[in-house]
Copies of this chain bind each other. A is one copy, B any other.
Amino acid sequence: MNELSRQATLNPIHAPHAACSQCNLQELCLPVGLTTAELSTIDHLVSERRKVARGDALFCSGDHFTAIYAVKLGFFKTEVLSEDGRHQVTSFYMAGEVLGMDGISAETHHCDAIALEDSEVCLIPFNQLESVSLKVPTLQRHLHRVLSREIVRDQGMMMMLGAMRAEERVIAFLLNLSQRYIARGYAAADFNLRMTREEIGSYLGLKLETVSRAFSHLQEEGLVQVEKKRIRLMDTARLKKLLSHDDASR
């Protein structure tokens, strides 16, 4: 409600090239097996980086769509808002993930993307991406995969929202974060949440109090340690079991 999210002021970084070829997130953003020539084409494509300060919007619902964004550094949430005041967090994005693809269909964004901490994105102009894709089949295929991955992810999300109870959702959320940290080479079981309880709740279709209670309960059970925003998963195996075993017949 008090999201003062002014649009990000344009903040191109003064390295003219984002230089995918040098980027340590390459393996997350780009297909493997590109030739040096192809890589340099892509370097050219991803020409601009942009800083987004904590709380600022990278794009807003209704904005004209021109580009997709790879998170270079930091953390984002996206949220959709319905005609009435309701809004819901639909995703969180961390370094190496690509956001903004909702805008392709109607050349208009359908959600707001807000930085949860000071962040940097690589801007990929979509028209150009399409042109280059025509020349570099590997890249085309990769784009399709990225788009499809988003679809699969969303399906998992629906599953969670539709078929899991509160505590299970929280567990699934934590395990998912853990997975993604692993993929980035961070500790699997010890991390800091970048979002508030309210944002987690919105994402999980729960109220913040319910999230808080779930954390407390999981802590009582010795499954996690919660210390404000710091989370330590104490028994990943058992957490996983709780997810798959707990056969509510919804």
Interface residues of A (CB under 8 A from B): 80, 82-88, 90, 101-106, 110-111, 130, 133-134, 137, 140-141, 143-152, 154-159, 161-163, 202-205, 207, 243-250
Q: Do B148 and A84 touch across chains, with their CB atoms under 8 A apart?
A: no
Q: A145 is contacted by which of B105, B143, B158, B248 (Cβ under 8 Å)? A: B105
CB pair A80–B148 under 8 Å, yes or no, is no
Question: Are A163 and B86 touching (Cβ within 8 A)?
Answer: yes
Question: Closest 3 A-B residue pairs measured CB to CB?
Answer: A162-B205, A104-B148, A154-B154
Residues of B within 8 A of A148 (CB): 101-105, 147
Q: How many copies does the complex hold?
A: 2
Chain B contacts of A105 at CB under 8 A? Answer: 145-146, 148-149, 151-152
Task: Given A84-B244, A148-B103, A245-B84, verify A111-B155 contact (CB < 8 Å).
Answer: yes
Give min CB distance, A170 to chain B, whole Å. 14
Q: Which listed residue, B104, B137, B155, B247, touches A130 by the CB 8 Å rule? A: B137
Residues of B within 8 A of A149 (CB): 105
Which one of B141, B143, B161 lies within 8 Å of A158 (CB-CB)? B161
Residue contacts A-B, CB under 8 angstroms, 23 given? A80-B155, A82-B159, A84-B247, A86-B159, A86-B248, A86-B250, A87-B163, A101-B148, A101-B151, A103-B148, A104-B145, A105-B145, A105-B148, A130-B144, A134-B134, A134-B140, A144-B147, A147-B148, A147-B151, A150-B151, A157-B158, A158-B158, A205-B250
Q: How far is B146's CA from A4's CA once the two chains are assembled, in angstroms?
A: 33
With both chains docked as a complex, state the minimum distance between the C-beta of A183 and any C-beta of chain B, in angstroms: 15
